[in-house]
Chains A and B, each alone.
Chain A
Amino acid sequence: MIKITNLEKFYRTEEVETVALNKLNLEINTGEFVAIMGPSGCGKSTLLNILGLLDDPDGGSYLFNGTEVAHFNERKRADLRKHNIGFVFQSFNLIDELTVFENVELPLIYTGVSTAERKTRVEEVLTKMQIMHRRNHYPQQLSGGQQQRVAIARAVVNKPKLILADEPTGNLDSSNGNEVMELLTDLNEQGTTIIMVTHSEHDARYSHRIVRLLDGHTVMENIMM
């Protein structure tokens, strides 16, 4: 599904140039559950942002389902994103002014799904995430675990082929964290490809494969199964 070759990303500030990704090569197949680990600042988030087309690389190639997308323009990227990719963030990133239901509904609005169908699909996924009873609450009224479940619901409501999760359990205690990991595992078993950045060896064990980054370069891959 994903193939990147010699991917590069630099951050230039006035004094220094940081190499965030240094000729990185990585291949991820459909249906995989991959964990990305590494010390702080090694480029994990940078990689995830590029994979999610939120950011563009400075060099190298990025094939998504066989299409070169490294230099897609804004419109094409947005289009690819809304149909194929779901995001889960460490800090949940729900819109405070929208209720649980409305937050989850948002991606469907942007893909132009009809009101009636939106309702069924949002309710379906909220039920699956066991958060249906909170559908009319605002994010501030929910616990961290609940918020993250809403965020996952929003990420999957469009049935994306790929979910990118950046430290999804980073702000959660262990029991809530485990619940989130179970959810991701379920989704993966139903066929969604998942790429997850994590600092936790425990969480990484849920994945099929661990990619370890060091200074923007792969150093090692552990196959879990």
Chain B
Amino acid sequence: MFKNYLKIAWRNLLNSKGFSFINIAGLAIGMTAAMLIGIWIQHELSFDRFHKQIKDLYIVYNKSIFDGELHCWPSTPPALGPVLKQEYPDIKYSARITYVDKHLFDYNGKKLEAEGFDAEENFLKMFTFPLIAGNMATALSSPYKIVITEDFAKKMFGTTENVVGKIIKFDNQYNLTISGVLQKLPSNTRFQTDYITPWLFYRVQYNGDDQNWGNNSYRTYVQLNSGANLKKVNAKIINTTIKHSNGNEDNQIFLHPFGDYYLYNTFKNGVPSGGRADVVKLFTFIAGFILLIACINFMNLSTARSEKRAKEVGIRKSIGALKLSLVGQFLIESVIVSFIAGVIALILTRITLPYFNELVSLDLSLPLLKPSFILAWLVFVLATGLLAGCYPALYLSSFKPVQVLKGTFVSVNAVVTPRKLLVITQFTFAVVMIVSTIVIRKQIQYAQDRDSGYNKNNLIYTYFNGEIHKNQNLIKQDLINSGVAEAVSITSGSFVSSSANSWGLNWVGKPEGAKIVFDQMATQGDFAKVLNVKVVKGRDIDPQLYPTDSTACLLNESAAKIINAKNPIGQIIDKDFIKWHVVGVIKDFIWGSPYDPIQPMLVMGPAQKWSNVVNIRLKANQPLSAAMPKIEAIFKKYNPAFPFTPLFVDKDYEVKFSEQQRTAKLAGTFALLTIIISCLGLFGLAAYMAASRTKEIGVRKVLGASVLNITALLSKDFLKLVIAAIIIASPIAWYAMQNWLQKYTYRIEIEWWIFAISGIGAIMIALVTVCFQSVKAAIANPVKSLRSE
């Protein structure tokens, strides 16, 4: 029986190659998209869930109320970890780690920059990062040790053999002994690093202060005893920081499961509210829809051609076949088609994966030989076959032999109601995707066109390392004297990424008890000059001209408004035990997200010794190729051990848009795929319709209809469907995009023309697809088609 089904299925595929091609191609494209997204989803879902003790691992969060809203964030003070472990027996281990930082390594003159963090000993016990060499228990137990990854070892030594015990120089200053080699880190962990140094080493570097409760710059991880109750633990630990800081700090704390940390990283009023999980859901939805659209092609074409199979159904039934066995037969056929499409999709996935990786900035691979992958693929193929086949199977198998065996059975029209609905579904989705793509692109354009408030061109910067700190004034002087730089300013952070804020500002007239958050930067002077930002009132900070400028500060316009709209100059702002006097007000400039309103900002003078970045305003009208070697030479002179790494503000500013640009690219790709698949289906339907109406067309032509008349007649039905789809899609797209835009304070309005353009686009594409078939049918010689009767 099964063999018989296979035979029929195979011969049917071969007999109608055109339809088979459309069916298989459509399904293969849809399945490829679904598989790519599937691989990505698998990556997201498995993110940091591979740790053996994952069930008991937690990250410590702070929570506090600002501006009337409860905020949660996962950075904690350094004193917290050990206290938690000491005071609460439910906590088995705790581990503090620092942020990832870049440092210079030197082994016998071979220099490499690498990124890593400091972690307490227990880190390696809690998280599953096996060592391929070295002793895990002692790898981080004393200050001058370092654990490096396989990749780093290969880069530095060309091998991972006999690496343990070697000594490398850290930032040209400390000798660290390699105590272990980490097995290559998987891509689905957040601890992407080249090396790990002991927490004790961090203490050595920064003179041992890891006991304070106010500096929330560390991550604290804990492992509970298995079986501990999270709710009870959270209730016990909630006030740890408040208690130990004697009320100086008011952040409450709680534990968030580490397994959820990646996907549920957004909190609304203290409750996890998605985050990446929403993106995963959205993508699952999109993948499902693209697959459905491909399946719809199969459904439409199979049922449109039903009279070809109707006779067979009638015969089989008259011989004694049951409906059920016919349903089975047709399902087997659709599974065969989906199997063929699935194999092609595997190949396509393999080919397109590198492009997809670029799109999502990941390094995903196709685990072709992994049994779990093969199993998932089989289930996927089966499910697709059943999804695509169920409607045709039910439809075809319900033909009554009495109707179809008379030999006169013809399905009158290719465009009957269920098929109409399916085509409308396809185009609705296509139009939604087109509208979304346009809206996202408009939004990015809008934010890119927003005035940043300063001149991003000819502005470069580099981070402090080695001797830069010591020689900062000499470097600055040399840069100016050499004639390449118009101005140089040392700051606490870069101009392109918002890196610090604080509510610890006080001034006369500040509302009692208000927590008003200010962006904060520090500079050694020439802030406005380097930035080329307009000084609206007063002047720039310039300690050379004004010795008292050590405690001078600048405000941006938003800050000036908050402090004193009328005359901010001369106002005193109390911050970090220093009384800063305002010397100038600068125009608001974009420091953080270009989609957000600009925050009030305080720029503190040289008394605040946070120096991390050298910013250089290049003289215009000099070629970069001439300027850069001069600058590099100056840095080499004062900081010979370290490579000079210049960064460009205009280039880094663009990074602010990269996530949205990626979304736009993805939306565009999905829109394109949807359109291709839908049009394939439309093309097939139109071909079928033209074929089944040849006789009618012949008669009409004999009676005097023109080619145009007939083309219009044949295309009309399809156009109606596309128009219906546009009408349904518009409010859906509007709603979805309105929702998406809510994330951005600085956003576009969705205008009517976006829908008009998308609609006209969809109509044009559909028209071209259908007209090809309609015209072909219309120009056929009527004598031929009528004789075939």
Q: Do A and B interact with each other, yes or no?
A: yes
Residues on A facing B (Cβ under 8 Å): 45, 49, 52, 54-55, 74-75, 78-79, 81-83, 87, 89-91, 93-95, 97-98, 102, 106-107, 109-111, 154
Residues B320 and A95 in contact, CB atoms below 8 Å apart? no
Given A89-B407, A93-B314, A93-B405, verify A98-B321 contact (CB < 8 Å). no
Of the candidates B4, B8, B320, B400, which one forms a contact with A82 in the assembled complex, judged by CB atoms under 8 Å apart? B320
How far apart are the CA atoms of A171 and B11 in the complex, in Å?
A: 27
Q: Write the chain A residue with the least CB distance to B320.
A: A82
Tell me how many residue pairs across A and B have CB atoms closer than 8 Å: 72
Residues B321 and A78 in contact, CB atoms below 8 Å apart? yes
Q: Which residues of B are found within 8 Å of A49, using beta-carbon distances?
A: 402
How far apart are the CA atoms of A87 and B12 in the complex, in Å?
A: 25
Given A91-B407, A98-B7, A98-B8, verify A75-B322 contact (CB < 8 Å). yes
Given A55-B402, A109-B1, A109-B4, verify A87-B318 contact (CB < 8 Å). yes
Question: Told that A54-B318, A93-B407, A110-B1 touch, could you supply 9 new A-B pairs with CB distance under 8 A?
Answer: A55-B400, A78-B320, A79-B320, A89-B405, A95-B8, A97-B7, A109-B1, A110-B320, A154-B319
Q: Write the chain A residue with the least CB distance to B311.
A: A93
Of the candidates A54, A74, A90, A93, which one forms a contact with B322 in the assembled complex, judged by CB atoms under 8 Å apart? A74
Residues B322 and A106 in contact, CB atoms below 8 Å apart? no
Given A98-B8, A102-B7, A109-B1, verify A54-B15 contact (CB < 8 Å). no
Of the candidates B11, B319, B401, B402, which one forms a contact with A106 in the assembled complex, judged by CB atoms under 8 Å apart? B319
B71 sits at the interface (CB 8 A): no
Residues A95 and B321 in contact, CB atoms below 8 Å apart? no
Interface centre among B1, B12, B323, B405 (most CB of A within 10 A): B405
Interface centre among B7, B314, B318, B402 (most CB of A within 10 A): B318
A20 to chain B, nearest CB (A): 11
B171 sits at the interface (CB 8 A): no
**A–B pairs, 18, beta carbons within 8 Å:** A45-B406, A55-B400, A74-B323, A75-B322, A78-B322, A81-B318, A81-B320, A82-B320, A90-B407, A93-B314, A95-B315, A97-B7, A97-B11, A98-B11, A106-B4, A109-B1, A109-B4, A110-B319
Question: Which 8 residue pairs of A and B lie closest in terms of their CB atoms, listed nearest first?
Answer: A82-B320, A91-B407, A97-B11, A107-B319, A81-B320, A55-B402, A54-B401, A110-B320
Residues A106 and B15 in contact, CB atoms below 8 Å apart? no
Q: Write the chain B residue with the least CB distance to A92.
A: B407
Residues B15 and A97 in contact, CB atoms below 8 Å apart? yes
B317 sits at the interface (CB 8 A): yes
B736 to chain A, nearest CB (A): 43
B312 sits at the interface (CB 8 A): yes
Q: Which residues of A are found within 8 Å of B316, using beta-carbon distances?
A: 95, 106, 110
Of the candidates B15, B312, B315, B320, which one forms a contact with A111 in the assembled complex, judged by CB atoms under 8 Å apart? B320
A216 to chain B, nearest CB (A): 16
Residue interface mask B273-289, A partner, CB < 8 A = 1: 00000000000000000
Interface of B is mostly: helix
Q: Which residues of B are found within 8 Å of A95, using beta-carbon distances?
A: 8, 311-312, 315-316
How far apart are the CA atoms of A128 and B407 in the complex, in Å?
A: 27
How far apart are the CA atoms of A78 and B311 in the complex, in Å?
A: 17
Residues B319 and A81 in contact, CB atoms below 8 Å apart? yes
Q: Which residues of A are found within 8 Å of B406, using beta-carbon distances?
A: 45, 91
Of the candidates A93, A98, A107, which one forms a contact with B320 in the assembled complex, judged by CB atoms under 8 Å apart? A107
B325 to chain A, nearest CB (A): 8
Q: Which residues of B are found within 8 Å of A75, using beta-carbon distances?
A: 322
Q: Write the chain B residue with the least CB distance to A171.
A: B407
How far apart are the CA atoms of A98 and B8 in the complex, in Å?
A: 7
Interface centre among B314, B319, B400, B406 (most CB of A within 10 A): B319
B397 to chain A, nearest CB (A): 11
A77 to chain B, nearest CB (A): 9
Residue interface mask B1-32, A partner, CB < 8 A = 1: 10010011001100100000000000000000
Given A49-B402, A93-B311, verify A110-B407 contact (CB < 8 Å). no
How far apart are the CA atoms of A107 and B321 in the complex, in Å?
A: 9
How far apart are the CA atoms of A78 and B397 in the complex, in Å?
A: 14
How far apart are the CA atoms of A85 and B436 in the complex, in Å?
A: 61
B322 to chain A, nearest CB (A): 5
A31 to chain B, nearest CB (A): 23
B424 to chain A, nearest CB (A): 27
Q: Which residues of B are found within 8 Å of A87, using beta-carbon distances?
A: 318-319
Q: Write the chain B residue with the least CB distance to A53.
A: B318
B311 to chain A, nearest CB (A): 6
A92 to chain B, nearest CB (A): 9
A95 to chain B, nearest CB (A): 5
Q: Which residues of B are found within 8 Å of A94, using beta-carbon distances?
A: 315
B321 to chain A, nearest CB (A): 6
A88 to chain B, nearest CB (A): 10
How far apart are the CA atoms of A10 and B405 in the complex, in Å?
A: 19
B417-462: which have CB < 8 Å to A?
none
Residues B4 and A102 in contact, CB atoms below 8 Å apart? yes
Residues B320 and A54 in contact, CB atoms below 8 Å apart? no
Interface centre among A52, A55, A75, A78 (most CB of B within 10 A): A78
Interface centre among A49, A55, A93, A102 (most CB of B within 10 A): A93
Q: Which residues of B are found within 8 Å of A90, using beta-carbon distances?
A: 407
Q: Which residues of A are found within 8 Å of B15, using beta-carbon distances?
A: 97
Residues A110 and B321 in contact, CB atoms below 8 Å apart? yes
Given A74-B323, A89-B407, A97-B11, verify A52-B318 contact (CB < 8 Å). yes
How far apart are the CA atoms of A81 and B320 in the complex, in Å?
A: 6
Q: Which residues of A are found within 8 Å of B12, using beta-carbon distances?
A: 97
Residues B317 and A78 in contact, CB atoms below 8 Å apart? yes
Residues B321 and A54 in contact, CB atoms below 8 Å apart? no
B323-347: which have CB < 8 Å to A?
323, 325
Residues B402 and A82 in contact, CB atoms below 8 Å apart? no
Of the candidates A45, A55, A74, A82, which one forms a contact with B319 in the assembled complex, judged by CB atoms under 8 Å apart? A82
How far apart are the CA atoms of A39 and B315 in the complex, in Å?
A: 26
A109 to chain B, nearest CB (A): 5
A214 to chain B, nearest CB (A): 21
How far apart are the CA atoms of A52 and B319 in the complex, in Å?
A: 10
B397-416: which have CB < 8 Å to A?
400-402, 405-407
How far apart are the CA atoms of A98 and B7 in the complex, in Å?
A: 8
How far apart are the CA atoms of A45 and B1 in the complex, in Å?
A: 31
Q: Write the chain A residue with the least CB distance to B322.
A: A78
How far apart are the CA atoms of A81 and B316 in the complex, in Å?
A: 11
How far apart are the CA atoms of A98 and B3 in the complex, in Å?
A: 12
